[in-house]
Amino acid sequence: MATRTPGLVLGDDGTTRCWWSAGSEEYRVYHDGEWGVPVFDDRRLFEKISLEGFQAGLSWLIVLRKRPGLRKAFDGFDFKKLARSPKSRVESLLRAPVMIRNRAKVASVLNNARRALELIDEEGSLARFLWRFEPAPAARPRRLTQAALRKLTTCPEAQALSKELKKRGWSFVGPTTLYAFMQGVGLVNDHLEGCPVRPRIEKTRRALRRP
């Protein structure tokens, strides 16, 4: 049910949330417990980049529902294992019942796994590299309303990260995809003002020790 504040909805459990979470129980769970929570684990960061690549042109809900099966198909997104995969593995992955059958996207996961190992050799960890592109507080909207969020399809930091990853040979890492990645893993907190998750994440962010 809509509230008086644009972009916020009241769930049947009596909790106010960002409007996009009202579409399904999966969205609600993802919104409340995962979206925007800071992530420093390299495997989880690689998984999120991979899933955002699959999401391009699709609904995130499709990817979210397929995520358990995709995790199984891609060895839990263990990029060290995936990097050792022969090119022929793309064919077997495309035959997996749960797979989003886009050859380029499947091949991208294996390619990016190899690129991830190269990056870690240079930078020490994915987290250390990726969190370097966290937007400064001054670059963020002073008040995050629905109108402001709808305009945030990307940002200069996501554009810079996209350029750097592409230079390193990564694929399916456009600036819009990477901004969605930033939203998901907490490089930005895009819960709307008035959403109860927003202050909880802000408290977490204030206590963070960046990698």
Res 87: pLDDT = 86
* Contact yes or no for 166/173 (Cβ under 8 A): yes
**Sign of the C-alpha dihedral, residues 124, 39, 207, 198?**
positive
Q: Coil, strand or helix: which one is 124? A: coil
Is residue 30 annotated as part of the catalytic site, yes or no? yes
Domain assignments of the chain as residue spans, ordered by start: 8-206
Catalytic residue among 27, 35, 60, 179: 60
Structure tokens at 167: 């230079």
Strand ranges (E), 144-192: none
Q: Coil, strand or helix: which one is 112? A: helix
Structure tokens at 85: 């995969």
Res 2: pLDDT = 64
Structure tokens at 91: 């064919």
Taking the model in full, what pTM does it have? 0.96
Q: Coil, strand or helix: which one is 2? A: strand
Res 102: pLDDT = 96
Structure tokens at 12: 């049947």
Catalytic residue among 30, 35, 170, 179: 30
The CATH superfamily label for domain 8-206 reads Hypothetical protein; domain 2 (1.10.340.30)
Catalytic residue among 27, 47, 52, 170: 52
Dihedral, CA of residue 37, residue 43, residue 45 and residue 49, to nearest 10: -130
Question: pLDDT truncated to tens, each residue of the chain (211 aa)?
Answer: 667 789 999 988 899 999 999 989 999 999 999 999 999 999 999 999 999 999 988 999 999 999 999 999 999 999 999 999 998 999 999 999 999 999 999 999 999 999 999 999 999 999 999 999 999 999 999 999 999 999 999 999 999 999 999 999 999 999 999 999 999 999 999 999 999 999 999 999 999 999 9
